Amino acid sequence: MLTEAIATPSVSGQEDAVARFLTGWMSAHGFEAHIDAAGNAVGVRGDGPRTVVLLGHIDTVPGDIPVRVDEHGVLHGRGSVDAKGSFCTFVAAVAGLSDEALAQTRFVCVGATEEEVPSSKGAHFAAGRYAPDAVVIGEPSGWEGLTLGYKGRLVLHAAVSKPNFHTAGEGQSAGDDLTEAWFRVRGWAQERSVNAGIFGAVQATVQHIESATDGLTQTATGVFGLRLPPEVTPAQARAELRERLDGLATLDFRGDEVAVRHPKDSPLARALRLAIREAGGTPVFKLKTGTSDMNVVAPHWPVPTLAYGPGDSRLDHTPEERLPLDEYDRAVAVLRDALTRLARSWPTEDSGKM
């Protein structure tokens, strides 16, 4: 399943072929499976009163990496780490659950579309469709890693336009003004990050910058990316940056994502910690500086949540993306054990959730 999923291209917005493959595999292995209105590959097993949603994404960034398994048992290919590997881990783990676990819990595997682009189409659709009691997000953490939180995000598009003038004359060019805008954004980020660790800091980067003239008008445009800690919401960042950049450039803010951080002492986290230790590993809690579909669903699903999946996240989006198959197998076994433990831990009364 994993190798075929990786071999099926699924750049964001073009996930139909891999969704059809995955729903077909799930249908053949005990799931009720379908492709929903957002293009998500959905598989359901179990009919218990509690619901666990396992939300991964099946789209990838562009970049063709020839799919192969090398002599060391390592699978190379786009999406092997980010994050078809995680979603296939979910499906394989749930496919192997016992009748006892399935009688206590309903497991919903959602292979979401468009996670690698700002739309997060699949996660937004799922957030309004389910009311889970626990959530596992499919992102690479390593088989011993449990990710509890992700930073927020805000993207600033800045533009300057002014009449053209000779560069030997007095005054600032549009490019000068845009550069000053960037310096102010960076200064604001540094002030917001005093005595903060990496997860508590505001990270600011230039994503794009250019200037031009048609002989009459100068223009300069830039895109500045901001990674925000829980202490700084996108609304706060917008207000403070508008004040700081007032009159210097035209501002357009996009891609709002609020940071999220879940507690490490939840029934879900305990079940995974025990399963990792039982497999001979040492659980490691992580906080990520990027964003994921956890940011999208957290406001809608205030329940125990963490991200789990095999692979080294440092290989995300790189030409060297690859996943050791023995690590994949360990992650499947750990997750199956953890879901079994979680199913046994529920109180006996019906939660009333759908």
The whole-number pLDDT of residue 351 equals: 43
pLDDT tens column, 192-240? 999 899 999 999 999 999 999 998 999 999 999 999 999 999 999 999 9
Return d(Cα 60, Cα 15) in angstroms, integer. Answer: 9
CB-based burial, 4-21: b 16+ in 10 Å, e otherwise: ebbbbbbbbeebeebbeb
pLDDT tens column, 180-203? 999 999 999 999 999 899 999 999
Show me where the domains of the chain are located: 2-150+260-345, 152-257
The CATH number of the domain covering residues in 2-150+260-345:
3.40.630.10
Task: Read off the pLDDT of each residue in 17-22 and give the average, rounded to a whole number.
Answer: 98
The CATH number of the domain covering residues in 152-257:
3.30.70.360
pTM, 2 dp:
0.90
Residue 149, SS3?
strand
In the annotation, is 59 catalytic? yes
Q: Which residue has the tokens 């995300």?
A: 316
pLDDT tens column, 259-295? 999 999 999 999 999 999 999 999 999 999 999 999 9
Pick the catalytic residue from 82, 114, 115, 133: 115
- Residue 349's pLDDT band, with cuts at 50, 70 and 90, is low
Pick the catalytic residue from 59, 82, 116, 337: 59
Return d(Cα 163, Cα 215) in angstroms, integer. Answer: 9
Task: Read off the pLDDT of each residue in 119-138 and give the average, rounded to a whole number.
Answer: 97
pLDDT tens column, 314-341? 999 999 999 999 999 999 999 999 999 9
In the annotation, is 337 catalytic? no
Return d(Cα 59, Cα 311) in angstroms, integer. Answer: 16
Which helix (H) or strand (E) segment holds residue 107: the answer is: strand 105-112
Burial class (CB in 10 A: 0-12, 13-18, 19+), 83: buried
Closest residue by Cα to residue 155 from 240, 227, 244, 232: 227
